[in-house]
Amino acid sequence: MPNHVMAYAILTPLLASVALPALAQSSAPEGIEEIVVTAQKREESLQDTPVSIAAFSAKDLEAKGISGLTDLRANVPALQLTPFPNNAATTQIFMRGVGLSDDQITQDGGVAVYMDGVYIARSQGLAVEVADLERIEVLRGPQGTLYGRNATGGAINFITRKPDLGDFGFKGQVTLGNYDNRRFKAAVNVPIGQTIAARLSYVNQQQDGFIRNPGTGIKRWGDKDRQAMRADVLWQPSDAFNLRYSYDRTEIGDTPAYVAVSPLFPLVAPRPKASSPLVRDVLPNDIVSQGHSLIGEWEPSDALTVRSITGYRKLFNFQNQDYLTGVTGPNPLQKNSSRTKQDQWSEELQLVGDAFDGLVQYVAGFYYFTEEGRNFSNSYSPPTLTRSFTTATIKNRSYAVFGQATVTPDWLDSRLHFTVGVRQSWDKRDATLARQTQINGGPITSVPGVGDGSRKFKDFSPSFVIGFDASRDVHLYAKAVKGYKSGGFNIRASSIARFNEGFAPETLWSYEAGMKSQWLDNRLRFNVAGFISKYRDIQVNVQSDPTNARITDVLNAGSATVKGIEMDLTLAPTRALRVTANYSYLKARYDSIISATGADISSNYRFTNAPEHTIALDVTYDLPRLPIGQLTANANYTAQSDKFTNATISGGKYIVGDYGLINARLALSDIPGLPGVRAAVWGRNLADKEYYLMQFNIGRPGAIFGEPRTYGIDLSVEF
């Protein structure tokens, strides 16, 4: 979609919001439902939280078909989720132009992902199915004080449903669709006496990919083969104390996404139906991500909650990929595979409370994190007849102390709020690297030198917020927040010497002002935030070998400025109709990148995964009740403008062009004689739009296509 068309699409719902409520003032007594979030470690209304947040309730997740991270794609403006070329289950996450375009175990992302408060360190396997979600919160902008390192772009919180004391319950859903889509999901809640309850959940999905493989190995590219399970036990002996243990496990056996040869922008390739018959021996990927958590909460008084979050997670990841077989001959331009093992421990202790009769609200705590990992990769480059073997290990440790306090003095009828936060972090990172090569089937020889690095970093990240309640329903805020991402080592470095050099941390200062407001008797909600971010020592992955995408160097790229606007509008002119419009404008540019020779080379660099315009429009309407039950229709449209997908333009401009997608769902509930039974038909990408998710350099431009039109039916029961 061209930018001027995008602008019209944004203005239309905003202008309509002024007129529509006036037409229906007498028919909407309930208004918009309040959303409660825990973005600041305590429960509070979305409208009272001075953070740019996109929140999805359980009802929203069901209506939009969201069950995991990658389903958020296009539903949150300013958030970009793209598959890594080697493995679509490894997700590149970018928020406000900040993220990570690599998947190695020695580099951390710029957007932190949490599961019930436990940080998930590795990007491998992030395309997980979460078996029993209650809510998802997407926090835009740096969250350095309360979330620590690696949240320079933002944070994503997955909140699962707790067991319910005293109530037995069951919820199940079966989905059938085209491409042999079969999905089964179930959750059961079992009370055990008066103080203990257990909740067990399971989900399984099978779906055929849309590109055939006439070669050997897998039958299709992009098959989904996933299952996830979760067990929760809650013990609550009193109102003042509870202890919750959880175990989750996700198994992903997807086949690799197909990489198609593609021309550079503005030309595009048609979506292929099959790969080359010369493809040989491609295997399904194999990912197992699992974790334990223990969360304890104690309320010694009404003004204090003590919370402990202990987490252990373990990851195994096997991935392989064939690049562009048949494009220049019978061999691929590159073929690789890798195996990664990683495990992590974390502990967070929080004190959340009020003081001085509510004058002060505070959060204080301690955080500790440690991880170990090992990666072995095998990469073959037929153009050079060279096979490369790499073995890398990591051992990382991080700890921090943090605190945040909000003071509400008596001035101006207690409508003014001052918030100050601080976080001191210490990081230690150790890594080793050993390389071997094999040329033209000859002997395997070791590359001279072994990488062995150890670096320490520390950071002080403050935050400052001023909030003002202009009225009961209009809240203004201004803030300055620092974000910090740890440095480390690069196992894809062009030499052992470059590996040993490592790379430095990156930091970001964000200056933001926003308004959260409700109007017309809570029938119109309008939130807006504008920000300018000053980015320093940016970690940019630069491809060093044009024939081998696995050889990159990390460059602390100097400085950049990122600025933008985010708007979220919700309109409920009647009880039966709800309209939402979410928009993001983003302008990201490098101010300077100084090369080893002292020259400014910033003109050769672009921010990746940072489209200037993104929009999400959604309409939900409850039709007049029929004898068969209540019909609810939902339609949504998501679109984004062009975006760069490669940091440098010296080898050509790698751009994913603008596109928009239309989705719809028609649900039937409150069926007479069938309490708790619901049915729905749905369709995604109804216009069958052909578009790229990713384009990159693999010796030639390669692209990964988004899914074609899909449709299906959901049948569910709950009691």
The 3-class SS string of 183-238 reads EEEEEEEEEECCCEEEEEEEEEEEECCCEECCCCECCEECCEEEEEEEEEEEEEEE
- Rounded distance, CA 261 to CA 263, Å? 7
CB 291 within 8 A of CB 118: yes
pLDDT of residue 699: 83
Could you tell me the pLDDT band of residue 159, with boundaries at 50, 70 and 90? very high
CB 641 within 8 A of CB 613: yes
Average pLDDT over residues 599-618: 93
Could you tell me the pLDDT band of residue 550, with boundaries at 50, 70 and 90? low
The pLDDT > 90 percentage for the chain reads 76
pLDDT of residue 340: 95
> pLDDT tens digits for 628-659?
999 999 999 999 999 999 888 888 899 999 99
Q: Which two tokens stand for residue 359?
A: 């004058």
- Rounded distance, CA 377 to CA 18, Å? 57
- Rounded distance, CA 229 to CA 469, Å? 44
Instruction: Taking the CA atoms of 145, 146, 149 and 152 in sequence, report the sign of the dihedral they define.
Output: negative
What φ, ψ does residue 165 adopt, rounded to 5°?
-70, 135
Going from the C-alpha of 108 to that of each of 98, 138, 429, 489, 490, the distances in angstroms are 12, 18, 11, 10, 11
Average pLDDT over residues 520-532: 96
Residue-by-residue DSSP string for 527-540: EEEEEEEEEES-EE
- Rounded distance, CA 400 to CA 348, Å? 9
pLDDT of residue 414: 93
Secondary structure letter of residue 131 according to DSSP? S
pLDDT of residue 507: 94
Residue-by-residue DSSP string for 612-638: SEEEEEEEEEEPPPBTTBEEEEEEEEE
CA angle centred on 57, ends 51 and 59, rounded to 5°: 155
Going from the C-alpha of 626 to that of each of 619, 621, 622, 672, 716, the distances in angstroms are 20, 14, 11, 10, 20
Q: Which two tokens stand for residue 505?
A: 């941390």
Between the ranges 19-23, 90-94, 544-548, 552-556, where is the mean pLDDT highest? 90-94
- Rounded distance, CA 166 to CA 624, Å? 36
pLDDT of residue 12: 43
Kind of pairing, strands 52-57 and 506-519?
unpaired
Q: Per-residue pLDDT for 11 more than 70?
A: no
Arithmetic mean of pLDDT over the chain: 91
- Rounded distance, CA 234 to CA 456, Å? 39
pLDDT of residue 491: 86
Q: Which two tokens stand for residue 211?
A: 């590109």
29-41: burial string, b at 16+ Cβ within 10 Å, e else: eebbeebebebbb
Q: Is cis: bond before 266, omega within 30 of 0?
A: yes
Could you tell me the pLDDT band of residue 31, with boundaries at 50, 70 and 90? confident
CA angle centred on 79, ends 605 and 186, rounded to 5°: 145
Q: Write the secondary structure of 639-670 as one string of H (helix), E (strand) and C (coil).
A: EECCEECCCECCCCCCEECCEEEEEEEEEEEC
Average pLDDT over residues 262-278: 96
Q: 663 forms bridges with which residues in the sheet?
A: 636
AA identity, residue 178: N
How many whole angstroms from its chain centre is CA 41? 19
Q: Which two tokens stand for residue 316?
A: 């195994």
- Rounded distance, CA 504 to CA 496, Å? 17
Q: Per-residue pLDDT for 13 more than 50?
A: no
Q: Per-residue pLDDT for 6 more than 50?
A: no
Q: Determine the longest span between alpha carbons in the chain, in angstroms.
A: 82
